[in-house]
């Protein structure tokens, strides 16, 4: 029976491969934020890329490849790429199947671009400074959000009327104004420098390198050359640091508003999460003020008693906080197959880590059990033997002294387990 199914599916795969080889009008791409593939019409795909460039107005075609001597000889010697491996960045779009119309996320693959090493150097220099400044209003992952929410409950600020707000900043990397971002960087450097220096580098040297990265961001697409004239490339590590620095200045009014109204505020790059006990009209007025203050940053927001943020679904059920794992509809249950050649301890850690994540995120034992079943099925689909799965599940509950959760769904023991692993 299994052999027949394997033969049938093998023929299907061969048929698909043959179709893709012979049809130049079809494109296949990995998708953004999921492990599935996108197959579509090549003309439509190219049209979406063109539409994105026109919408953001962030790139221009390069008609002349001559440089403007943007880098000094001394800087060239200090951060010099391997000239034998230099390669112009190239554009590729990642489809976003989880969003209406399947738009593209513009990525500039620039691993061997001339300024890549400078970009990495700047990111390594600036990211720790930024995180030190903004850690209190920066979310790292869903567990970070839950810790803040549960403290919010203990502090007495969580009510039956509490709403959650999720904000998405549109095309952040492309839409930040260069001069505005560089001015924000300058202010950060001046505030945290020691006699005008960050480490051994002068502020002027850092600013010159920052401009170098932004001014030399060229790439190839569709047999044409382009230079990005707005924002930074999603492919350069420095772009994230610069965007975060710019956004930290932009978000100060919202942060102060939340402090005054005892609300949570936190951001991860272009995703923001807030809580509020104000009515929707008051919040919308605040967002309108923020929008008028800076026309470069465009936001979309959702206000509700139930939202998804990171990998967490967050609910307010009549004044009770409830959290559990959120799975995108486009997500597939793919994990490292048991048949892979990885050391066996890697396979043993996968069930344990999955249960650990579920116990930290799920506030309720019944949601945890539902997630445990999902993990079990995912492991089976990836060829993990049932006895192996059972043994690793038992190990998790034994190590954490929580066997009653497995045996009888004991809610009191689970609450202790959740708190113990969360903190």
pLDDT average, residue stretch 326-354: 92
Q: Would the CA dihedral through 247, 249, 252, 253 be positive or negative?
A: negative
Please provide the average confidence, as pLDDT, over all residues in the chain. 87
| CA distance linking residue 359 with residue 142, whole number of Å | 12
Residue 405 contacts residue 418 (beta carbons within 8 Å) = no
Read off the pTM: 0.81
| CA distance linking residue 290 with residue 250, whole number of Å | 8
| CA distance linking residue 416 with residue 410, whole number of Å | 10
Domain boundaries along the sequence of the chain? 137-175+239-322, 333-422
Q: What is the dihedral of CA 268, 270, 276, 280, to 10 degrees?
A: -170
Q: Is the pLDDT of residue 148 over 80?
A: yes
Highest-scoring range by mean pLDDT, 26-40, 169-183, 331-345, 396-410: 396-410
Highest-scoring range by mean pLDDT, 36-40, 195-199, 230-234, 363-367: 363-367
Any idea which residue has 């640091």 for tokens? Answer: 241
Superfamily of domain 137-175+239-322: Reverse transcriptase/Diguanylate cyclase domain (3.30.70.270)
pLDDT of residue 71: 42
pLDDT average, residue stretch 361-374: 97
Range from 82-86, 210-214, 332-336 carrying the lowest mean pLDDT: 82-86
| CA distance linking residue 115 with residue 418, whole number of Å | 46
Tell which wins on pLDDT, 308 or 8: 308
Residue 115 contacts residue 88 (beta carbons within 8 Å) = no
pLDDT of residue 77: 64
pLDDT average, residue stretch 150-166: 97
pLDDT average, residue stretch 386-409: 96
| Token digits of residue 240 | 């994230």
pLDDT of residue 387: 96
Range from 8-17, 59-68, 360-369 carrying the lowest mean pLDDT: 59-68
Q: Is the pLDDT of residue 68 over 50?
A: no
pLDDT of residue 132: 95
| CA distance linking residue 10 with residue 243, whole number of Å | 46
């Amino acid at each position: 029976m299994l052999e027949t199914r394997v033969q049938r599916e093998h023929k299907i795969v061969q048929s698909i491969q043959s179709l893709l080889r012979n049809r130049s009008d079809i494109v296949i791409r990995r998708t953004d934020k999921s492990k599935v593939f996108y197959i579509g019409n090549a003309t439509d795909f190219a049209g979406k890329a063109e539409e994105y460039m026109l919408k953001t107005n962030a790139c221009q075609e390069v008609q002349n490849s001559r440089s403007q001597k943007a880098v000094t000889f001394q800087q060239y010697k200090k951060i010099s790429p391997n000239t034998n491996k230099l390669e112009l960045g190239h554009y590729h779009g990642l489809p976003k199947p989880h969003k209406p119309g399947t738009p593209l996320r513009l990525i500039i693959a620039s691993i061997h671009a001339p300024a890549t090493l400078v970009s990495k150097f700047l990111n390594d220099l600036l990211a720790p400074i930024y995180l030190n400044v903004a850690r209190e209003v920066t979310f790292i992952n869903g567990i970070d959000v839950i810790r803040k929410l549960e403290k919010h409950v203990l502090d007495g600020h969580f009510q039956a009327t509490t709403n959650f707000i999720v904000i998405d900043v549109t095309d952040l990397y492309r839409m930040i104004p260069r001069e505005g971002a560089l001015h924000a960087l300058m202010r950060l450097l001046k505030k945290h420098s020691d006699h005008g220096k960050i480490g051994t580098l002068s502020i002027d040297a850092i600013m010159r390198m920052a401009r170098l990265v932004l001014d030399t961001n060229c790439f190839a697409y569709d047999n044409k050359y382009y230079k990005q004239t707005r924002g930074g490339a999603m492919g350069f590590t420095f772009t994230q640091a610069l965007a975060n620095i710019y956004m930290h200045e932009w978000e100060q009014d919202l942060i102060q508003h939340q402090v005054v109204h005892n609300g949570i505020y936190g951001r991860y790059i272009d995703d923001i999460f807030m809580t509020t006990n104000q009515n929707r009209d008051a919040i919308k007025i605040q967002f309108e003020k923020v929008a008028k203050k800076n026309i470069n940053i465009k936001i979309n927001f959702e206000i509700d008693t139930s939202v998804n943020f990171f990998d967490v679904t967050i609910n307010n059920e009549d004044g009770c906080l409830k959290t559990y794992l959120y799975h995108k509809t486009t997500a597939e249950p793919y994990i490292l197959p048991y048949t892979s050649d990885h050391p066996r301890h890697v396979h043993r850690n996968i069930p344990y880590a999955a249960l650990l994540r579920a116990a930290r995120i799920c506030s309720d034992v019944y949601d945890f059990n539902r997630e445990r079943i999902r993990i079990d099925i995912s492991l089976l689909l990836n060829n993990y033997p049932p006895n192996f799965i059972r043994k690793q599940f038992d190990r998790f509950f034994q190590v954490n002294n929580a066997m009653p959760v497995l045996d009888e769904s004991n809610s009191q023991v689970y609450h202790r387990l959740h708190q113990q692993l969360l903190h």
